[in-house]
Amino acid sequence: MQSQPAIDIAACTICGGMEFKAGPGGRLFKDVPPVCGQCGSLERHRATRMILESLGVERFSDLSVLQLSLDPSIDRNWFRSFEYSIYENHNSIDIMSIDRPDSAYDVVICNHVLEHVPEDRVAMRELSRITSNRGFLYISVPDPANRAETSDWGEPDWTQHGHYRVYGMDILHKLEQTLPDRYVVLIKQVDPVTGRQDAGFLVSKSRRWHDVPFMNKMRAKSVCRAGQP
Ligand SMILES: [Zn+2]
């Protein structure tokens, strides 16, 4: 009788769990169940956690954070203080008109929210406005790691979670044009459980944050020079 070959199962990058289950409707990614059985994380949460950890979480300890929409990609204990907002729920913040002063937070994390708003350029400016110069804004959206061009429907598509659009990698240039006084860095990461690619955007006024992904040899690309030619 032949023995079964050992199968390498990657651990969840958030909780270390080794058991995974299918998503809603039995969804798999390339035959792999994507949902962590222990913490419920998805592919994008685990990839985002890896990106943020690669920035050096020890650097976050004296920074305040606002997380727009709650997900397990960050650990609130990394930060000096933590606040969150959920759309039409707890402490709901309209990202096209944020009821906060300039530089209200050091770090703003905005995962999978921009696709829900009609005017994403307005939201990008608002998110950047409330981020202090000592910190950074981190944005992720579906699905620039896996498509080149954005498809914008101009209205919410309720067959696609009410999204106004699905982003392609051209969001990089939208960020660059919309926030010409910021550094914008694209960072790519692969979820080790499923192999699914994801990407996030690090937006800051700080050369220090701009340089970290490159120093740490992440898969990163910079498009902006913070207003410099
Ligand atoms: Zn987990």
The CATH number linked to 104 is 3.40.50.150
Is residue 213 within 8 A of residue 184, CB to CB? The reply is: no
The token pair that represents 202 in the structure block: 């690090």
Does 186 reside within a domain? yes
pLDDT at 228: 59
69 CA → ligand 1 middle, Å: 18
Does 40 reside within a domain? yes
pLDDT at 89: 73
44 CA → ligand 1 middle, Å: 12
20 CA → ligand 1 middle, Å: 9
220 CA → ligand 1 middle, Å: 25
User: Which range of residues forms the domain containing residue 98?
Assistant: 20-222
* Number of separate domains in the chain: 1
Q: Which residues pair with 197 in a beta bridge?
A: 190
Single-letter code of the amino acid located at 171:
I
214 CA → ligand 1 middle, Å: 27
Q: What values do phi and psi take at 210, rounded to 5? A: -55, -40
Residues 6+ apart with CB under 8 A from 24: none
The half-sphere exposure of 69 on its side-chain side, counting CA atoms within 13 A, is: 16
- For the full predicted model, state whether its pTM sits above 0.85: yes
pLDDT at 160: 87
* pLDDT single digits (tens) 58-70: 999 999 999 998 9
Q: Please, what's the largest Cα pairwise distance for the chain?
A: 69
36 CA → ligand 1 middle, Å: 5
pLDDT at 229: 45
Does 154 reside within a domain? yes
What is the full DSSP assignment across 162-208?
A: TEEEE--TTHHHHHHHH-TTSEEEEEEEE-TTT--EEEEEEEES-HH
pLDDT at 91: 74
Does 12 reside within a domain? no
The token pair that represents 118 in the structure block: 């009609």
From residue 196, give the alpha-carbon distance in Å to each of 10, 15, 160. 13, 18, 20
196 CA → ligand 1 middle, Å: 16
50 CA → ligand 1 middle, Å: 13
pLDDT at 92: 84
15 CA → ligand 1 middle, Å: 4
Place of tokens 């096209």: 96
Task: Kindly list the protein residues that place their beta carbon closer than 5 angstroms to ligand 1, a single-atom ion.
Answer: 12, 14-15, 17, 36, 38-39, 41
Is residue 187 within 8 A of residue 162, CB to CB? The reply is: no
Residues of the chain scoring pLDDT < 70: 1-7, 88, 90, 225-229
Q: What is the DSSP letter of 40?
A: -
Does 26 reside within a domain? yes
pLDDT at 34: 97
Does 10 reside within a domain? no
Does 54 reside within a domain? yes
